[in-house]
Amino acid sequence: MTEGTRLLAGRYQVGALIGRGGMSDVHVGTDARLGRRVAIKLLKPALATDPKFRVLFREEAQKAARMAHPTIVRVFDAGEETVTEPNGLETQVPFIIMEFVDGRLLKDIIADGPLDPKEAVRIIAGVLTALEYSHRALLVHRDIKPGNIMVTQNGQVKVMDFGIARAVSDNSATVADTSAVLGTAQYFSPEQARGETVDARTDLYSAGVVLFELLTGRPPFRGDRAAAVAYQHISEAAVAPSTLNPKVSPALDAVVLHALAKDKFDRFQTAAEFRQDLETAGAGQVPTRKAAAANDFNATLFGANPSATAASDAALRQLSSNDDRPARTQTRPPVAWIWVGITAIAVILIAVVFWVVNLPPASISEGLSVKVPYVVGEDYTKIAAPKLTNLKLVPNLLTEASSTVPQGQVISTDPTAGTRVSKGQQVKVYVSAGKNPTTVPSLNNLTEAAAKDAITARKLAYGKTSPEHSATIPAGTVIRSEPAANAAAREGDTVNLVVSDGLINIPSIVGIDIAAATAQLVPLQVNITTQPNSGCTGGKVTGQSVTGDNQPQHSTVSITYCSG
């Protein structure tokens, strides 16, 4: 069954591919039961190898399906489809049926350059509205990035993939395992980079990263390796957006840097707080800092109470400043020892920083993942498949007809070469099956010009024309083709023509029996006369008017034979 006619769950017709990501392919589709247009997300088969993932995936998809808000892409349905691979093995492919959104991904909009600050504020305010709604439902997105945000034709912001990142991350051991699913490290929060438990404030940090990118055209932290970017999220402060885009106001600088605070207790505590300060700054006013309300819906933040923590800190500071506390009896250590300790700590920190920045290729996440090798143009059986297998990747052979790539050579791979993926992941390898198969058309009795047109129409190549004598086929008419009619061929193969030249070869028949002689002259016009028996052999031809090669068709030949 082709992709265009494939049905999922007996009702969802899979259409054209409209998007491709690290963990899924997205197709436009049709709900045959309700007659509506939908988007169909087919997750990578490698994600469904663990039964625990399938359980988590269904639970999180159900939670996401219960959310109905204008800023959130609706999830209509989810399930699994059994797919038979080319090698005959059956795999379970998880799928999600979502609302079809006619618009552009935010990452494509950013690719055009920095946005006007007012437009950036409007878009992130829409994202924060979606996060406020999801956080009230106790659902943390975990993967806020431009690739998961769409802007419709009328400017409506739509956030998608709620709950999907949770199902994947809860099924994985480390951040490195989920890098293909949770987005690039450019949008990690510090707690995600450290592998700690995340809560709603993780989404707010990621929203701050997206806001920074909208204002400047680039994320706040960049690097050649994911580990280097993750280290920057943990240890390095982001620059003010105005240093990269002078149009950004100091008030917006303050909002962005507040959202990007390393300590989650120092950044915005709720999406509503973030949005209020953002809209205030976007209106040209300076946001006022205020304490979090005790009855805030997100005051416990899924197990952590920032208000209680802040109160505890305040109480500790009050105790530390109490003038009535007893005097210290322990003497301070010598100043020299203090400086020795400080120096030792500094040396250790410098060594750790140097080690992280100069991680060898086989360390941390690189030890858990590999780069897809470049195999385009190579023989699949002899070179491409062994290369992938040696890297602990699983090649999935898919054939395509190609008029330019020789049969058996690799056309492309998915993911493409250089993409870092986890070991054991399946890599689709598109291999040339050669040119499209066809057959040689029947060209007999056509004029040479008509035969050439028929060859071209069948996407074959005309080769050459060879003349040949024929007593019956008119000059310029095809006698036969080489290869013959209906022979198997491939598009682009050469077909030669054998065409009548309108001439014949008249053999010499003198001395042979009259019956055999007339048979050799068919279908010529033959005039026969007899010669009286005067020493000739009876019944033998004694004379012939025309003989030799290159004689015109329909020539008249007069012969005499002995009647004795």
- pLDDT tens-digit profile of 259-295? 999 999 999 999 999 999 999 999 888 887 655 444 4
Q: How many whole angstroms from its chain centre is CA 489?
A: 33
Please name which of 366, 112, 97 lies closest in space to residue 223, comparing C-alpha atoms.
366
The SS3 call for residue 453 is helix
Say yes or no to pLDDT of 182 above 50.
Answer: no
Q: What is the pLDDT of residue 48?
A: 66
- Residue among 143, 161, 177, 203 flagged as catalytic: 143
Contact partners, residue 212, CB within 8 Å, separation at least 6: 219, 220, 238, 241, 256, 260
As a whole number of angstroms, the distance between CA 345 and CA 302 comes to 35
Say yes or no to pLDDT of 313 above 70.
Answer: no
Q: Is there a contact between 487 and 514 (Cβ–Cβ < 8 Å)?
A: no
Residue 350 phi/psi, 5-degree rounding, is: -65, -40
447: which strand partners?
477
pLDDT in tens, 134-148: 999 888 888 899 988
Q: Residue 477 — very low, low, confident or very high, per pLDDT cuts 50/70/90?
A: very high
Residues 116 and 245 in one domain: yes
Residues 118 and 154 in one domain: yes
Q: Residue 360 — very low, low, confident or very high, per pLDDT cuts 50/70/90?
A: low
Tell me: cis bond preceding 51? Omega within 30 of 0 counts. Answer: no
Last residue of some domain: 367, 386, 417?
Answer: 367
Say yes or no to pLDDT of 161 above 90.
Answer: no
Is 511 within the bounds of a domain? yes
Which CATH number covers residue 27?
3.30.200.20
As a whole number of angstroms, the distance between CA 76 and CA 340 comes to 63
Tokens 């920095």, located at residue = 114
**More confident position, 326 or 447:** 447
Q: Is there a contact between 44 and 425 (Cβ–Cβ < 8 Å)?
A: yes
Residues 274 and 165 in one domain: yes
Q: What is the pLDDT of residue 353?
A: 76
CA-CA-CA-CA torsion for 468, 470, 476, 480, nearest 10 degrees?
A: -70
Chain mean pLDDT for the chain: 81
pLDDT in tens, 22-80: 677 889 999 988 889 999 988 877 676 667 677 777 777 777 787 889 999 988 888 88
Out of 193-197, 448-452, 465-469, 560-564, pick the least confident: 560-564
Please name which of 433, 447, 438, 450 lies closest in space to residue 494, comparing C-alpha atoms.
438
Tokens 């590999």, located at residue = 370
Is 331 within the bounds of a domain? no
pLDDT in tens, 363-384: 444 556 788 999 998 999 999 9
Residues 521 and 388 in one domain: no
Out of 253-262, 290-299, 304-313, 424-433, pick the least confident: 304-313
Q: Residue 203 — very low, low, confident or very high, per pLDDT cuts 50/70/90?
A: very high
Is 483 within the bounds of a domain? yes
Is 262 within the bounds of a domain? yes
Is 318 within the bounds of a domain? no
Which CATH number covers residue 450?
3.30.10.20
Q: What is the pLDDT of residue 211?
A: 96
Which CATH number covers residue 287?
1.10.510.10
**More confident position, 24 or 405:** 405
Q: How many whole angstroms from its chain centre is CA 27?
A: 11
Q: What is the pLDDT of residue 298?
A: 44
What is the average per-residue pLDDT within 119-135?
94
The percentage of the chain sitting over the pLDDT mark of 90, rounded to a whole number, equals 33
**More confident position, 315 or 163:** 163
As a whole number of angstroms, the distance between CA 40 and CA 522 comes to 73
Q: What is the pLDDT of residue 209?
A: 96
Active site residue 143: yes
Q: What is the pLDDT of residue 251?
A: 93
DSSP 192-240: HHTT----HHHHHHHHHHHHHHHHHSS-S---SSHHHHHHHHHH-PPPP
Residues 145 and 283 in one domain: yes
**More confident position, 206 or 94:** 206
Residues 137 and 210 in one domain: yes
**Dihedral sign computed on CA atoms, order 394, 182, 162, 153:** negative
Count the Cβ atoms, other than its own, within 10 Å of residue 286. Answer: 13
What is the average per-residue pLDDT within 312-335?
41
Last residue of some domain: 449, 476, 501?
Answer: 501
**90-99 and 75-84 strand pairing:** antiparallel
Out of 259-273, 276-290, 325-339, 512-526, pick the least confident: 325-339
Q: What does each C-alpha distance from 158 to 118, 213, 240, 259, 555 come to in angstroms?
A: 18, 18, 27, 21, 86
Residue 140 phi/psi, 5-degree rounding, is: -95, 130
Amino acid at residue number 157:
V
Q: What is the pLDDT of residue 163?
A: 65
Q: What is the pLDDT of residue 562?
A: 85
As a whole number of angstroms, the distance between CA 410 and CA 376 comes to 5
Provide the domain count of the chain.
6
Is 428 within the bounds of a domain? yes
250: enclosing H helix or E strand:
helix 250-259
Q: What is the pLDDT of residue 368?
A: 62
Range from 8-17, 309-318, 521-530 that averages highest in pLDDT = 8-17
Q: Is there a contact between 502 and 553 (Cβ–Cβ < 8 Å)?
A: yes
Residues 199 and 342 in one domain: no
Q: What is the pLDDT of residue 271?
A: 95
Say yes or no to pLDDT of 257 above 70.
Answer: yes
The percentage of the chain sitting over the pLDDT mark of 70, rounded to a whole number, equals 80
Q: How many CA atoms lie within 13 A of 309 on its CB side?
A: 13
Q: What is the pLDDT of residue 522?
A: 80
The 10 Å CB-count burial string (b at 16+, else e) for 297-326 is ebbebeebebbeeeeeeeeeeeeeeeeeee
Q: What is the pLDDT of residue 450?
A: 92
Residues 280 and 411 in one domain: no
Say yes or no to pLDDT of 86 above 80.
Answer: no
Tokens encoding 443: 């060209």
Q: What does each C-alpha distance from 468 to 21, 167, 339, 343, 379 come to in angstroms?
A: 61, 75, 105, 99, 43
Contact partners, residue 232, CB within 8 Å, separation at least 6: 221, 223
Say yes or no to pLDDT of 127 above 70.
Answer: yes
DSSP 496-548: EEEEE-SEEEE---TTSBHHHHHHHTTTSEEEEEEE--SSPPTTBEEEES--E
**More confident position, 162 or 279:** 279
Q: Residue 357 — very low, low, confident or very high, per pLDDT cuts 50/70/90?
A: low
Q: What is the pLDDT of residue 325?
A: 41
Residues 259 and 132 in one domain: yes
Say yes or no to pLDDT of 246 above 90.
Answer: yes
Last residue of some domain: 501, 519, 547?
Answer: 501
Residues 188 and 43 in one domain: no
77: enclosing H helix or E strand:
strand 75-84
Residues 245 and 151 in one domain: yes
As a whole number of angstroms, the distance between CA 476 and CA 468 comes to 10
Is 312 within the bounds of a domain? no
Which residue segment(s) compose the domain that 525 sits in? 504-562
Q: What is the pLDDT of residue 403?
A: 77
Count the Cβ atoms, other than its own, within 10 Å of residue 327. Answer: 4
Is 320 within the bounds of a domain? no
Residues 90 and 202 in one domain: no
pLDDT in tens, 35-49: 899 999 888 776 766
